[in-house]
Amino acid sequence: MRQVDFDGQFDMSKIVPVRIGDDVSAPYLFPNPVRDQTYLIINSEENKNWMVEIFDLAGKLIYTETVSLQKGNNTVPISLHEIPPGVYFFRNGVEAIKLLKY
């Protein structure tokens, strides 16, 4: 980021890495759009339990599941056959991923 003073001088801030989540990489869902089942693809730095949460457009929690992640790459199946078609959001802490169900 560049900060400019009133006299025109400026300073550049340092670049620092930002971690999303808690000891896990930024997850993604595949396939998306989805018919009945999608897969959460995520990398974890340690064995841990992790909460999967999916919300509708109104912000209502419609799906929640605690999954066990192993250290390393994880592929977690998520069954959505009971959820009607629509637009949903998978939340990972502050970040959200749009999920389309048809």
CATH of the domain at 71: 2.60.40.2550
Q: Which domain holds residue 84?
A: 20-101
Q: Are 43 and 19 in contact (CB under 8 A)?
A: no
- pLDDT digit string (tens) for 11-56? 777 665 455 555 667 888 999 999 999 999 999 999 999 999 999 9
Please classify residue 70 by burial: count the beta carbons closer than 10 Å to its beta carbon, then call 0-12 exposed, 13-18 middle and 19+ buried: exposed
- The answer to the question of residue 82 being in a domain is yes
Counted domains in the chain:
1
Q: Which residues contact 19 (CB under 8 A, 6 or more apart)?
A: none
Q: What pLDDT is recorded for position 82?
A: 93
- The answer to the question of residue 60 being in a domain is yes
Separation CA 14–CA 16 (nearest Å): 6
89 or 23: whose pLDDT is higher?
A: 89
Q: What pLDDT is recorded for position 80?
A: 95
Give the residue from 90, 101, 89 showing the smallest Cα distance to 37. Answer: 101
- The answer to the question of residue 94 being in a domain is yes
pTM metric for this prediction: 0.71
- The answer to the question of residue 84 being in a domain is yes
